[in-house]
Amino acid sequence: MSLLDRLRRRTTPTPPAPLTVEERGRQHHDEIRTMLREQAASSPIQAAHIAAGSVDGTHYLELLEPIKQAKREGRLDDALALAYQAIQGAEGDRGAYGPAPAYTEHAAIILRKLGRLDEEAAVLDRYLAWLTPEQRTGHRLEERRAKVRALQAAA
């Protein structure tokens, strides 16, 4: 049998099917949960750090995918509740630069979709209060806050 015949007879494994958005989200969520467990088990200092970013036993990093999924499904009230939980966790785990802004941004987007400008302004102010004036300058959430002020004035 020639090399060409052997190559023709050889079967190649079928590549896995591409993941859906939901499957990728679940996979990412599972990876984050595993990482947090491993870090918590690595030292008491890491465990305390992770506990500081947790609310009701769920670390804020674990909430990003559920927030996105709820938004995709149009469950804005559920997404908003998760975003507020994540904001609380991020504030507990804030570093030198303040809490992670992504959760506040998700909450602000949801509140805008719901037409709740006063609450959007409040959640943005809550985040911006953690920052120094230098950190606020040019920050995308400061810019969003200015847009909310303009919308409120126009209403």
Closest-CA residue to 40 (of 62, 13, 11): 62
Sign of CA dihedral 110, 113, 116, 122: positive
Q: Which two tokens stand for residue 16?
A: 């896995």
Sign of CA dihedral 74, 77, 29, 135: positive
Going from the C-alpha of 2 to that of each of 7, 8, 9, 16, 153, the distances in angstroms are 9, 10, 11, 30, 80
Q: Is the pLDDT of residue 12 over 70?
A: no
Could you say which of 1.25.40, 3.30.200, 1.10.730, 2.60.40 is the CATH number of the domain covering 21-154? 1.25.40
Ranges of each domain in the chain: 21-154
Please calculate the CA angle 21-26-27 and round it to the nearest 5 degrees: 95
Closest-CA residue to 53 (of 42, 44, 63): 63
pLDDT in tens, 63-84: 999 999 999 999 999 999 999 9
Q: Helices 140-154 and 102-113: crossing angle, nearest 10°?
A: 20
Going from the C-alpha of 32 to that of each of 22, 60, 61, the distances in angstroms are 15, 10, 7
Rounded distance between C-alpha atoms, residue 32 and residue 58, angstroms: 11
Rounded distance between C-alpha atoms, residue 104 and residue 127, angstroms: 7
pLDDT in tens, 80-133: 999 999 999 999 988 767 899 999 999 999 999 999 999 999 999 999 999 999
Q: What is the pLDDT of residue 42?
A: 93
pLDDT in tens, 23-40: 888 888 889 889 999 988
